[in-house]
Structure 1
Amino acid sequence: MQPIVESHQLRLFVMLARQLNMSQVAAELRMTPSAVSHALKAMEADLRCILFERTSRRMRLTPAGEALLPEAQSILSGMESLRTRAGAICDPEQNRIRIGASTTACQFILPPALREFRESFPGHAIRIEPCTARQAADHISADRIDFAVTLEPAAHGGLEFRFMAEDSLHFVVHPLHPWAIRRRVPREEVPTGKLIISETDEETFALIEAYFRKDRLTLTPFIEIANDEAIKRFVNLDMGVGILPRWIVAGEMERGQLTVLPLGRRQLRRRWGMLHAKGRKLNFAESLFFNICREVMRSLVETGGRSGEGLSVFLVLLTAGMRMAAC
């Protein structure tokens, strides 16, 4: 059996080919020039091939050395990649993702996304920190989370927002509510409509408030709660009027339990995405997770809440691979 070329021999060969100076390579490796020379001779003996022409003044690659160098570089790069990949799988510090997420993301986006993610990274530890977009910015700055799946904040200086999908908000009422019966919403009734909406410190409330401010309408919420399922429940009991995206109430609409009406002539759109520190490069696991979340969110919006079921990890991996350079 022929001797196997070892990693330190490959590294020595590649370094010598790059610098063509034995003394410099010896200093970099903290070896003596004599030791480097002996190591090179041993490698050439193992390969039964002369890699360098050496004179008292200079050294240069032989034709054989030039032919073998690309393969040596490729093997060395693969070995380094293997070590990095092993660290990502086995190192507890690298093998962890800390996610900030809005209540809506926790309820609807993360469950199907994490199920798909687990198929590729079963050993990753996941920690989820429920938070608003504004709180997420503080958590990222304080290094309490790696990134957040949330709505785009009004301002995100020092942070980067990666767009996933867009939805729009609507009035949601009981089928027997006067607005549902008339199939229209009198503008003058909006401020007194017993609105059941997200808490005032959330991005959604800020968007809603700004939308109606353009119509010179001031909103006074009847119930504030940061839980879309609870809002649906209150509206289903005919306790007031919710403001939610259509995809969240698609099932109730099909069953005739809730009715959706437009907020007005203008649409009120929200942008969903990932928020993280500016300039932060996502690793492979994080890049894959972003792509999965994006596909889940787009599927939710397009199919009316019936997403996340049967997402193809292969297709998402392909998407992630195509976009790694952008990360």
Structure 2
Amino acid sequence: MDWVPDLRQLRAFVAVVEEGSFTLAARRLFVTQSAVSHSLRTLEEQLMCKLLDRSGKRVALTVEGELLLKRCKRVIFELDQASRDLDGLRKWGQTRIRIGAPHSLCTFLVPSVLREFRDCFPRCEPVIEAGDTTVLLDRLSDVELDLVIGLKPRGRSDDGYRHMFTDRLAFVVSPFHPWVNDTNAVLATLTEQQFIIYAKATETHRLIEEWFEKKGGRGKKPLVLGDMAAIKEMARLGVGVGIVAPWIAAREIEDGTLRAVEIPEPGIEREWGVFHSSNREPSLVEEAFIGLCEMAFAAMHTNLSK
């Protein structure tokens, strides 16, 4: 059977089924009832089968009608979605933005940025992927992401990169840890501590390892975890000394369940920024997202400075 679908017929068919009557379907489609009846009659003739049982007070689907309805609804949904996407493309230049960010930023920074972004671009759908920055940058190179917020790896050029924020890591310990009352003992007792540090193969882990090498190494083998919340909890319980950014533990430091101890010079400093494709300039939507990230990082810096 050679059948060329007519979208008006399919919409009429779906409307009649969902509304339960030709009158309500016509009202929904802003056409006359006779136009709906004609569309359904023509559709049944073309398909050479009966789609609706009109014998009762409400129309009912036949077996053939159930099969067609299932396919029709999917087709109409995709066409409507395409129309919305094209409308958004005409208005904003982009209907989807794919963002990569580390888990820590997905918890502490990205939600506030997304809230503002949705208010500005309600028709643009943000897609967030959490992971290590180096992995996300590979996906950016493969054009699988539009933007990546993360730590700048050593040796990476500034092409397609915008600096946002610089932070310094700190030791976080239980309120009962000896360092709380005697910070002068930090270097003298360094090798005696059980450190809890972030996952291997990350920029943060590499920076921590380099700092220990400069200070002559450490004694105990560190606990290596891929979850900042777990690092904080173990430090709170006195399992060891966590190494995190103060903004990650701001709530616990404020309520006194954790104490921050400054890491002796040269310290462990990290640079955060936003990466985009170096082959093109960011779109209007991407520029807006970058601007919101800049504002969020600035607010974070202000809060930490108080």
Same fold (TM over 0.5): yes
Aligned residue for 1:277? 277
Spell out structure 1 runs of 4+ moving beyond 6 A: none
1:168 equivalent to 2:168? Answer yes
SS of equivalent residue, structure 1 residue 242: strand
| Per-residue deviation, residues 129-159 of structure 1 (Å, max 9, x unmatched) | 1121211221112111112110111133595
Q: For 1:172-183, what aligned pairs fall within 5 Å after superposition?
A: 172-183=172-183
1:155 equivalent to 2:148? Answer no
2:89 counterpart letter in structure 1: G
Cα distance, 1:98 vs. partner? 0.7
Contact 2:104/2:248 (8 A) holds in 1: no
Taking the aligned partners of 2:219 and 2:204, their CA distance within structure 1 comes to 13
1:102 counterpart letter in structure 2: P
Cα distance, 1:270 vs. partner? 1.0
| Per-residue deviation, residues 218-251 of structure 1 (Å, max 9, x unmatched) | 5765322232222211211111111112222222
Aligned residue for 2:125? 125
TM-score by length of 2: 0.66
Cα distance, 1:185 vs. partner? 4.1
Cα distance, 1:260 vs. partner? 0.9
Aligned residue for 2:250? 250
Contact 1:196/1:221 (8 A) holds in 2: no
Aligned residue for 2:139? 139
The structure-2 alpha-carbon separation of the partners of 1:162 and 1:186, relative to structure 1 and needing over 3 Å to count, comes to same
Task: Show structure 2 runs of 5+ residues with no match.
Answer: 1-85
Aligned residue for 1:201? 201
Q: For 1:63-74, what aligned pairs fall within 5 Å after superposition?
A: none
1:87 counterpart letter in structure 2: L
Aligned residue for 2:298? 298
Taking the aligned partners of 2:184 and 2:257, their CA distance within structure 1 comes to 18
Taking the aligned partners of 2:154 and 2:197, their CA distance within structure 1 comes to 19
The structure-2 alpha-carbon separation of the partners of 1:305 and 1:121, relative to structure 1 and needing over 3 Å to count, comes to farther
Contact 2:276/2:282 (8 A) holds in 1: no
Task: Show structure 1 runs of 5+ residues with no match.
Answer: 1-83, 307-327
Taking the aligned partners of 1:298 and 1:90, their CA distance within structure 2 comes to 26
Taking the aligned partners of 1:249 and 1:194, their CA distance within structure 2 comes to 19
TM-score by length of 1: 0.62
Taking the aligned partners of 1:149 and 1:268, their CA distance within structure 2 comes to 20
Cα distance, 1:187 vs. partner? 2.1
The structure-2 alpha-carbon separation of the partners of 1:189 and 1:296, relative to structure 1 and needing over 3 Å to count, comes to same
Contact 1:167/1:270 (8 A) holds in 2: yes
* Identity %, equivalent residues: 30
Q: For 1:177-192, what aligned pairs fall within 5 Å after superposition?
A: 177-192=177-192
SS of equivalent residue, structure 2 residue 169: strand
Taking the aligned partners of 1:108 and 1:272, their CA distance within structure 2 comes to 14
The structure-2 alpha-carbon separation of the partners of 1:191 and 1:295, relative to structure 1 and needing over 3 Å to count, comes to farther
Q: How many residues align?
A: 221
What root-mean-square deviation, in Å, do the aligned CA atoms of Structure 1 and Structure 2 show?
A: 2.5
Contact 1:274/1:290 (8 A) holds in 2: yes
Cα distance, 1:266 vs. partner? 2.2
Aligned residue for 1:87? 89
SS of equivalent residue, structure 1 residue 196: strand
Taking the aligned partners of 1:134 and 1:163, their CA distance within structure 2 comes to 16
| Per-residue deviation, residues 285-316 of structure 1 (Å, max 9, x unmatched) | 1111111111111211320399xxxxxxxxxx
Cα distance, 1:119 vs. partner? 0.5
2:196 counterpart letter in structure 1: I
Contact 2:232/2:249 (8 A) holds in 1: yes
Taking the aligned partners of 1:297 and 1:206, their CA distance within structure 2 comes to 23
